[in-house]
Chains A and B, each alone.
Chain A
């Protein structure tokens, strides 16, 4: 239960970072992806800041035998490049450009009580459920 409470803390801090960074403003996201138009490079620095911190911290944290609260590591182990990975990333990129939201900023924007993130998040959940249904039939992932 302690780990679940700490997840809440992580989610809260994550949302604060997203808000400060500009990721919760869809027009900024589209401006960042508009490389061949009126490009706004600012969101590139979100990646620089986030990876800059985590690239270093990851190496220190992974030296620990276990995490501090959970008893074991839960890290992804897959290494192969699959058609699912590529096609999924293409579809995600299209949706990100169309809505100006990726999952984190969309969910934290629910806190603004604007109806637009609600429409986006509800349909994102629907997209995930549809995937589960389709994947159950064809097993093209996992």
Chain B
């Protein structure tokens, strides 16, 4: 039985695939969000503007979507602010140490058949699945 969410996910995924393809075609770069942001934090001339403009594009896209289709940003978790802060710290530190996130490793790296990205993607998926089990047991998620 095909669920409508699966179709949205597939279409959205294909659009993500298109956008990372355009980044490669135009700029010859991998679209890894954590890497793009992390690189902007260590400022260097000539390697800054494209990073900031990419992030602005990402935020503008979110702004446009929330104007036309705010339901896309519902479904926030019922957790404390400090839980979110802990999550952000883990994601920021972890993606820097592991050189990538869902986009850089999961989409771009796997498409290139990079062994590092294949391993990283399997590891963060397994860690995520195990963490949900653990966080439920600990009562972090209601």
Show the binding face of A for B, using Cβ within 8 Å: 1, 3-28, 30, 33-37, 40-55, 57-58, 61-62, 64, 66-70, 72-76, 78-81, 84-104, 106-114, 116, 119-132, 135, 140-141
Contact = CB atoms under 8 A, between A and B. Distances in A.
Contacts of A34: 129, 132, 136
Nearest to A141: B97
Q: How large is the interface on B (under 10, 10 to 19, 20 to 34, 35 or more residues)?
A: 35 or more
Nearest to B88: A123
Given A33-B131, A49-B16, A128-B93, A11 B61 contact: yes
Interface of B: 3, 5-31, 33-34, 37-38, 41-42, 49-51, 53-66, 69-70, 72-77, 79, 81, 83-99, 101-103, 105-112, 114-116, 119-121, 123-133, 135-136, 140-141
20 contacts: A7-B50, A9-B22, A10-B20, A11-B59, A15-B65, A17-B13, A17-B19, A26-B77, A30-B77, A87-B98, A91-B90, A92-B90, A102-B91, A104-B33, A110-B62, A119-B81, A123-B85, A127-B93, A128-B96, A131-B97
A86 B87 contact: no
Contact of B94 (A73, A81, A90): A90
